């Protein structure tokens, strides 16, 4: 009822026992949740692996009791489990991982909404959940989004996660150490969006002065101005999570830069540029990726070392090639696990400390 006090969750497990038993009876366990080595029928739920699934609240339905809600400490442990055990599953298709993780993180956010929790602990859970989702989505290749994963739904879930976290920041009385970093991730994920830029510019000046937000604003400006040299120079300096957030814009930025080069250099006889120059300018993963990018846009090659800008050849068909993004994204893990990235404190220069 409106105005009634929210409960405090007391469920100690990643999935309430009642739901676990029901899904076991109804054969609705995901293979990630089945007891390891179990070969019987029906599949048996592993309490250490089963994670509460998302169920949309029905209108008029009573709120779940505290026994069905996980407190923030259990929710954070759930996110850590998803980041460490599920997201890093070596033998599972990335699309299957993304679908499972996105659904279970959605349930995490819902549990927070349905209970009374402090702003600080809520922010920590939402930050970890958002970081995990960003990383899982960034690992998907275009071919994998045509199967069991709906890319539009995933994008919606990322935006909803940003919305939940930013509302938590706005409603809090005190500062959050990682706020500048995650506000910066919001702008990077929405690069070029007038609305996102406006929202960031409304933040307190002290927050905007923090390095993560200053960098995000500089990247947004370079993206809008079409300054490819500065844009990709800045993109090389980003952390892994920042790179995951901005990855969806890399292909479009490369296409825009290639189009400007074609307008400036194309002649009837054709001017050429070394592919190594293209690799450096656009932060590509090597000459072969540069060749693929040029050929995808109709630009002929002179041997294996130069691209020819011949008038009338440049074309744009469909989405720009996504590329492998090892230089700009994958290499920045530097041997760390996803759980370490998700849970690590920001570097000192990235932490917001109000004066």
The gap between the terminal CA atoms of the chain, to the nearest Å, is 41
Decide: 116 and 71 in contact? Cβ < 8 Å: no
Exposure b/e, 109-144, CB count within 10 A at least 16 = b = bbbbebbebeeeebbbbbbbbbbbbbbbbbbbeeeb
Cβ neighbors of 137 (< 8 A, separation 6 or more) are: 98, 102, 154, 155, 158, 244
- Determine the pLDDT at residue 337: 93
Distances (CA, A) of 326 to 110, 173, 225, 347, 349: 34, 40, 25, 23, 25
Strand order in the sheet with 301-302: 271-274, 306-309, 301-302
Does the pLDDT at position 4 exceed 80?
no
Nearest by Cα to 186 from 205, 169, 206, 171? 169
Among 17-26, 54-63, 196-205, 232-241, name the one with the lowest average pLDDT.
54-63
Does the pLDDT at position 1 exceed 60?
no
Name the range with the highest mean pLDDT among 42-51, 144-153, 314-323. Answer: 42-51
pTM of the complete model:
0.92
Distance of alpha carbon 329 from alpha carbon 244, whole angstroms:
6
- Determine the pLDDT at residue 144: 56
Q: Is 335 exposed, middle or buried (0-12, 13-18, 19+ CB in 10 A)?
A: exposed
Q: What is the mean pLDDT of the chain?
A: 91
Question: pLDDT tens digits for 267-316?
Answer: 999 999 999 999 999 999 999 999 999 999 999 999 889 999 999 999 99
Torsion angle of C-alpha atoms 78, 81, 83, 87, degrees rounded to 10: -120
196-222 average pLDDT score: 97
Distance of alpha carbon 98 from alpha carbon 122, whole angstroms:
23
**Residue of 223 and 142 predicted with greater confidence:** 223
- Determine the pLDDT at residue 323: 79
Question: 311 is written with which tokens?
Answer: 């008038």
The DSSP annotation for 200-252 comes to HHTS-HHHHTSHHHHHHHHHHHHHHHT-HHHHHHHHHT--HHHHHHHGGGHHH
Does the pLDDT at position 346 exceed 50?
no
Cβ neighbors of 245 (< 8 A, separation 6 or more) are: 134, 138, 185, 186, 188, 189
Does the pLDDT at position 197 exceed 90?
yes
Question: pLDDT tens digits for 91-124?
Answer: 899 999 999 999 999 999 999 999 999 999 999 9
For the chain, which residues make up each domain, given as ranges? Answer: 1-57+65-174, 249-332
23-49 average pLDDT score: 92
């Amino acid at each position: 009822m409106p105005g009634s006090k929210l409960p405090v969750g007391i469920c100690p497990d990643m999935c309430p026992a009642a739901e676990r038993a029901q899904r076991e009876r109804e054969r609705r366990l995901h293979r990630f949740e089945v007891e390891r080595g179990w070969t019987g029928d029906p599949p048996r739920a592993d309490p250490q692996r089963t994670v509460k699934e998302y169920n949309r609240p029905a209108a008029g339905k009573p709120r779940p009791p505290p026994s069905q809600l996980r407190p923030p400490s259990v929710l954070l442990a759930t996110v850590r489990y998803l980041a460490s055990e599920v997201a890093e599953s070596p033998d599972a298709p990335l699309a299957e991982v993304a679908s499972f993780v996105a659904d279970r993180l959605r349930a995490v956010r819902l549990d927070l909404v349905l209970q009374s929790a402090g702003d600080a602990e809520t922010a920590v859970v939402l930050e970890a959940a958002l970081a995990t989702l960003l990383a899982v989505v960034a690992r998907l290749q275009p071919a994998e989004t045509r199967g069991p994963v709906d890319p539009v739904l995933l994008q919606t879930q990322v935006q909803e996660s940003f919305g939940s976290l930013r509302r938590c920041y706005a409603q809090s009385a005190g500062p959050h150490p990682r706020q500048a970093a995650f506000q910066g991730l919001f702008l990077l994920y929405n690069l070029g969006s007038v609305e996102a830029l406006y929202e960031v510019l409304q933040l307190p000046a002290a927050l905007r002065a923090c390095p993560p937000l200053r960098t995000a604003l500089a990247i947004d400006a370079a993206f809008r101005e079409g300054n490819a040299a500065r844009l990709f120079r800045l993109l090389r300096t980003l952390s892994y999570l920042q790179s995951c957030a901005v990855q969806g814009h890399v292909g479009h930025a490369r296409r825009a830069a290639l189009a400007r080069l074609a307008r400036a250099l194309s002649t009837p006889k054709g001017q050429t540029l070394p592919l190594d120059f293209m690799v450096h300018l656009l932060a590509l993963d090597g000459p072969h990726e540069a060749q693929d990018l040029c050929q995808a846009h109709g630009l002929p090659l002179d041997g294996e070392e130069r691209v020819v800008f011949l008038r009338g050849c440049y074309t744009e068909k469909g989405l720009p090639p996504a590329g492998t993004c090892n230089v700009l994204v994958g290499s920045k893990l530097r041997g760390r696990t996803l759980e370490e990235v998700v849970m690590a404190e920001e570097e000192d220069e990235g932490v917001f400390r109000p004066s």
